[in-house]
Amino acid sequence: MKKQFKLGVIGAGFMAQAIVKGAVYSDFVKAKKIIVSDISQQALDAMGQLGVVCTQNNRDVAENSEFLLFAVKPQHFSAVAESLRGVPIEKAVSIMAGVRKQTIRDALFEKKAKVARAMPNLPCSIGSGMVALDADDYSEDIDDNSFIVSLFDCSGNVISVPEEKLNAVTGISGSGPAYVYLFIDGLIRAGIRQGLSEDEAKTLAINTVSGGVDMVAHSEDKTIDELVNAVCSKGGTTIQAVESFRRDDLAGVIDRAVDACVKRAEELSR
């Protein structure tokens, strides 16, 4: 039987809002074909501004939607699943970090349910996100697979990965924007200490990071080491900073931070 809504979303947090906004603003899914639930009226009010249907009843969403997107915190999923007991769910999508597809099926008592997992990041909220997607359950249905890929494509770039790599993805792109923000903040603070105004330092830091990213993306014939060396000159200024980073083991600092993030994702997977 055809469902009233194309997409149902349980959870109306920031990431869910980003995904829904991308779908609505790109006209991929009409607002009237999306229903969202959350216990927070404030979150629903924000969703309501997009023109979607809002409710505090999870069952209403699950019973009346073709695709059901779980966008709640992993630690809240068991309670959400309990609220859906007895509702037949055929097509599910999850952006919950660390929660495996089989765990979702078991919690929903739906062994035959198709489940896709995605790991979007914060820049999806401005259409510049990165989304890693495992939609293997939908590989034999071209239309369903296309819908899921296109849903996330509305808010960023999509890369397909197997489920076993999603924890690693969490450590790199899912949580990665926070690392970039910290680096930019460090540059701003350093600039202020060197006598720049906050506005000057912020403008310089943001545009330098943005330009550096563009060069990496458009310099396919050069390695990152080659780009670093292109900025450095023997006995010059840049090499002094680069050698300072190396003495302080910047690569190791990053590796340990990512490792801590991935380990937490693995803990949530158990």
Helix (H) or strand (E) holding 26: none
Same domain membership, residue 137 and residue 209: no
Whether 170 is covered by a domain: the verdict is no
Whether 168 is covered by a domain: the verdict is no
Q: What tens-digit pLDDT sequence spans the chain (270 residues)?
A: 689 999 999 999 999 999 999 999 999 999 999 999 999 999 999 999 999 999 999 999 999 999 999 999 999 999 999 999 999 999 999 999 989 999 999 999 888 899 999 999 999 999 999 999 999 999 999 999 999 999 999 999 999 999 999 999 999 999 999 999 999 999 999 999 999 999 999 999 999 999 999 999 999 899 999 999 999 988 899 999 999 999 999 999 999 999 999 999 888 877
Residue 252 sits in which domain range? Answer: 176-269
Q: Any idea what the CATH number is for the domain that residue 118 is in?
A: 3.40.50.720
Note the pTM of the prediction, 2 decimals.
0.89
Q: Any idea what the CATH number is for the domain that residue 215 is in?
A: 1.10.3730.10
The domain boundary residue, chosen from 127, 162, 197: 162
Which pLDDT does position 37 carry in this prediction?
Answer: 97
Q: How far apart are CA 159 and CA 149, in angstroms?
A: 9
Which of 104, 88, 84, 85 has the alpha carbon at shortest distance from 96? 104
Name residues whose C-beta falls within 8 Å of residue 242's C-beta, 6 or more positions apart in sequence.
Answer: 228, 232
